[in-house]
A and B are shown apart, each in its own frame.
Chain A
Amino acid sequence: MLFDLLDISANGKYAKVVINDTSLVFPTLLTLTSTKENDINWLLGDSGKTLSINLPPSSLTQEVSNKKTTIQFVANILMHEPLQVSFVLNNLQKTTALIADRLKIVPPENALVMLQPNINPEILDAVTKTITKYKIRHVGITNFTPLLNTPRKALEFILRLRQLLPLDTLLYLFSPVPHTVVPILSYCGVDAFNSGYVWLATKSGLYLTAAGALPLTQLSEKICSCKICADLPISDLQKALLENNAAGLDEHNMLIYQAKVREVRYALKQKDLRSYVEQNLFDTFTATALRLLDSSWTDMLISRTATWLSTPIYHLTPLSYYRPAVQAFQRRVRERFDILPYKKIVVIFPCSARKPYSFSKSHRKFLEVINSLPKDKQAYIQQLILTSPLGVIPRELELVYPAAHYDIPVTGLWSEEEKAIAVQQLTSVLLKARKQKPIVIAHVSDEYLTLCQEAEQKLKTTFVYTAAGSKPTAFQALANLKKTLLAKIADSPPHQYNKDLEFVRALSDYQFGLGIGEKLFPEPVTLKQKPNQNIFLFKGKNRIGVIHHRTGQLMLTVPMGMALAKQKKYYLKLHGEELKGSTIFAVGVFEADPEIRPSDGVVILNEKDELLGVGVASLSGSDMVSMSSGRAAKVKTKVKSLTKAHSG
């Protein structure tokens, strides 16, 4: 079995899998078919090629049919939730012996094991150990429907499985589920869905739409114009249904179900399944599950969510505040951003609709004020931008995903939730400068001002307000800002300011950890950028690096990699002496920094800690280690000579 993970978005995987020369893309569908001999089989795959799967055995007898399907059930584990834990564990030992026996005939890459929802840690541990031990790659789930009423349990079960099983284990949900929960369940880590819901809905007289299911008898006009609906008047569809001969309705319903799965695949290809899930808040299961995911499974979600994307984020629901990308950004700002010791003034600006902020009209005005100050005094100023829901964005990080990609309706109305997030983030960032006690100038008005006042109270300090009662862009406000700034820095001695160096160091810290910027860039650098192009780093006349303008990511070079490797940050370790090809496969990775997230820059080391090259991660650090197939990283630059590159 060849497993090629093409893209990942939280636990959602877009993968190409080749089994016995047939190639399928996941997520996909499972469909029940009957052959001429009235033999019932499962077909895996929803577009063209399919693979056959036999029917699961009874969990009591474990008797399997000896039909020759490509993927074969080897067991159906008796682990139904109401059963006694000791009984289940006991019985599992017998089943495990049986599995071991059957795997002498069925190769593990063709073997499928069926599970029942159960969140008992001991049981999950034992079951997943058996699956991993025997390298079984296909895991089925049945008896799942009661969990549609208990999203917490549903998440607990699927996410624990996704935590305990390697990422290249495929999860098949045999229980039929409505198409509306396909996006969220895919986001949780389900790889294949039973299209059986199509027929259950059809036989229940339900007409599926993208958003749900409507009773066919209630329809008075056509909603869809797929080839079935186009040909059949609505009254005929209804009649066919009443006569128990659901001609056409099943086909229409199937198209809707299929579309859902294909849209999920598309979203995964865009590496942003999250946005698609938010667009699919059609039922309480999805809404509850998403809320619970964001609050209880944050770390797991973040670790499998790309750090660097260029796609816009649309704010659709309050649930958008807690997207993993947003939480990860806030976390990195709290943990990896520091207000430099010589900063005497912190200026808080309101956000703008246009991103990056510097390109907006308002911020151009703000920056004009800053730039008009004496060059040798500008070093004293730290700019912060107050926004929802990211909270606080240091000027240096305004290009970074998702700071420059967030699109929130600017209504001037902040919800209590948004306010709380922003205040919390602002206070924790200002606390970083508690030693140097900077003067905080809040050049804000309206809601932003209220937020600053809340932060003021929390911090037990006083801010200077330079735009109160007017618009921050108003001439008077800007003049006031300039006057205040000048007054505050008047007595300070001149201070050398390398704006570009501060910028790349802050960015490096954000990417790799607090203090890393100084290690990567011990000497001054300059930045050069033309509109809508990448930003280049220069040391004197030499180009030494690039920042991707669409994502805001600083790309690693070999010299940066060497410095990073010394810090044991964002590294992965491989067996072998040199890099072959441009792909690092997970099977070769035996150690990796658990901080690594997909799309992060990484340094590639050998067993002796020598730098082999730099690249971009496709997976989280821990997935690289646990997976036995698929791509772990892409190599960007290889080191030519090993001796030069010793990092130890």
Chain B
Amino acid sequence: MERPVGMFSPQIYQIRKTALISRKAFAADKFIASWIEKERLLTGIGNALVVILNSPGCQWGLGSEGGCSMCGYSNETSEGITAENLVAQFTQALQANAGKKFQSVKIFNAGSFLDEKEIPRTAQEVIFRHISEIPFVQEIVIESRPEFVTASALKRLTTILQPEQILEVGIGLESSSDQIRIHNINKGFLFADFQKAVAIALAQKVRVKTYLLLKPPFLTEKEAIADAIQSAIDAIKAGSRSISINPVNIQTGTLVSVLWKAGLYRSPWFWSLKTVIQTLWKRIAEENLTASVDRIVSDPSGAGTQKGIHNCRLCNRTASKLVKEYSLQQDPAILNELHCSCHSLWKELLEQEEATRDFSLHFFERSINQN
């Protein structure tokens, strides 16, 4: 596949190269993290086991095009990880959570599970065999760039699973706009590639969860809100029944973090996420898409911190809680419980940012965070 290269690619590559020099070493046999979390399942609220594997990392991110402008996952990867290492990591993660009940397994490997350069075929299969043996697990979620979503790759895995177990592939579409995905994000694939991957997955009875990025760099907050809403609609229309909205969390060794340090980037506001979610549900209803949607979730990392999605000192905690609650209940009205005087400042900043294209206006939030 031809990978479209964004305008910031050379600089992103440079930043990544420098960051990788100080990449922390992880033991090849140790998984990075695992936990149980409350999750919105297809059947309602349940528990999910999350496993983060120590893998060789995303080949797009580590390649000469530099990877995506906001992604620092490559910091948590290691060289020379073998199939045996990966299997060992997974079984250890299972042991660590032995006795706990969960209905979903989510595997993250800082890249594409379906890329055999990252997760060798044997490892993919052994891990899936393990999952197929866990009682009660109904959902398995993995992540992959669209180019690895092929019929044969999916078939290999689905045949291992039990018939009632559902596989969902998470694809980081980020935005349905090619301009934004290629240049602002440097994602390296087209919306058409995503559409093709969704079609392939659906044909294999594999579901697709679409990850959307809230506020790629060089977009105003207003543009970011509009883009996230439109992207979700486009992804749903392409056949993705799950949508996950990911507000940017600033990770080291990324272009976004370089901009942030220069004062030229602010992670999105909770108010913006609220707008995205509520407007999105309205649009879904307007466009008669309700039946095409299973869930629209958001599980922001770094929520309430300066690097992650945040409002003001006074309401960050409540906002985080409400977003979590919304994701579980899938009731956008929950977000109406958020009240804070920073709302009107947010609105004003949005206007000013749109009209000045000044990305540094968070300077003016100091006074509300001091009182």
Contacts and interface: CB of A to CB of B under 8 A. Distances in A.
A32 B360 contact: no
Q: Is the interface of B mostly helix, strand, loop or mixed?
A: helix
A203 B348 contact: yes
Contact of B262 (A42, A81, A217): A81
A84 B364 contact: no
Interface stretch (A58-66, A366-374, A403-411, A632-640): A58-66
Given A80-B259, A87-B10, A200-B349, A145 B361 contact: yes
Contacts of B14: 84
A201 B354 CA distance: 18
B352 A142 contact: no
Interface in B330-371: 341, 343-345, 347-349, 351-352, 354-361, 363-365, 367-368, 371
A83 interface: yes
A194 interface: yes
B363 A146 contact: yes
Given A146-B263, A204-B364, A199 B348 contact: yes
B258 interface: yes
B18 interface: no
A181 to B, nearest CB: 12
A242 B339 CA distance: 12
Nearest to B220: A58
A82 B259 contact: yes
Given A60-B7, A174-B358, A213-B367, A244 B343 contact: yes
Contacts of B343: 244
Contact of A176 (B344, B345, B352, B359): B352
Contacts of B352: 32, 176, 194, 196, 199-200
B361 A176 contact: yes
Contacts of B363: 145-146, 148
**Which of B219, B261, B341: most chain A CB closer than 10 A?**
B341
Contact of A244 (B11, B341, B361): B341
A421 interface: no
A84 B11 contact: yes
**Which of A61, A145, A194: most chain B CB closer than 10 A?**
A145
A206 B341 CA distance: 13
Contacts, number: 124
A215 interface: yes
Contacts of B365: 204
B364 A175 contact: no
B356 A194 contact: yes
A197 B352 CA distance: 9
A212 to B, nearest CB: 11
Given A82-B258, A82-B259, A203-B348, A59 B357 contact: yes
Contacts of B179: 60-61
A91 interface: yes
B215 to A, nearest CB: 14
B164 to A, nearest CB: 47
Contacts of B327: none
Interface residues of B, number: 40
Contacts of A84: 10-11, 14
Contact of B371 (A144, A174, A215): A215
A199 B355 CA distance: 14
A180 to B, nearest CB: 14
Interface in A21-46: 32, 40, 42
B218 interface: yes
Nearest to A199: B348
A228 interface: no
Interface in A53-100: 55-61, 76, 80-84, 87, 91
Contact of A204 (B10, B259, B368): B368
B183 interface: yes
Nearest to A176: B352
A145 B351 contact: no
A114 to B, nearest CB: 7
Contacts of A142: 356-358
Interface string A82-126: 111001000100000000000000000000001000000000000
Interface in B1-60: 7-8, 10-11, 14
Contacts of B361: 145, 175-176, 200
A42 B345 contact: no
Contact of A83 (B11, B219, B364): B11
Given A146-B360, A176-B352, 10 more contacts: A55-B355, A58-B357, A82-B262, A87-B7, A142-B356, A143-B359, A199-B351, A204-B367, A204-B368, A244-B341
Interface of A: 32, 40, 42, 55-61, 76, 80-84, 87, 91, 114, 142-146, 148-149, 174-176, 194, 196-197, 199-206, 213, 215, 217, 242, 244, 246
29 contacts: A58-B219, A58-B223, A60-B7, A60-B179, A60-B184, A61-B179, A80-B262, A82-B259, A83-B8, A83-B11, A143-B357, A144-B358, A145-B263, A145-B358, A145-B360, A145-B363, A174-B355, A174-B357, A176-B352, A199-B348, A200-B349, A200-B364, A202-B348, A204-B345, A204-B364, A205-B341, A205-B368, A206-B367, A217-B371
The 8 residue pairs across chains A and B that have the minimum distance between CB atoms: A146-B263, A145-B363, A203-B345, A174-B356, A145-B360, A142-B358, A203-B348, A200-B364
Interface of B: 7-8, 10-11, 14, 179, 183-184, 218-219, 223, 258-259, 261-264, 341, 343-345, 347-349, 351-352, 354-361, 363-365, 367-368, 371
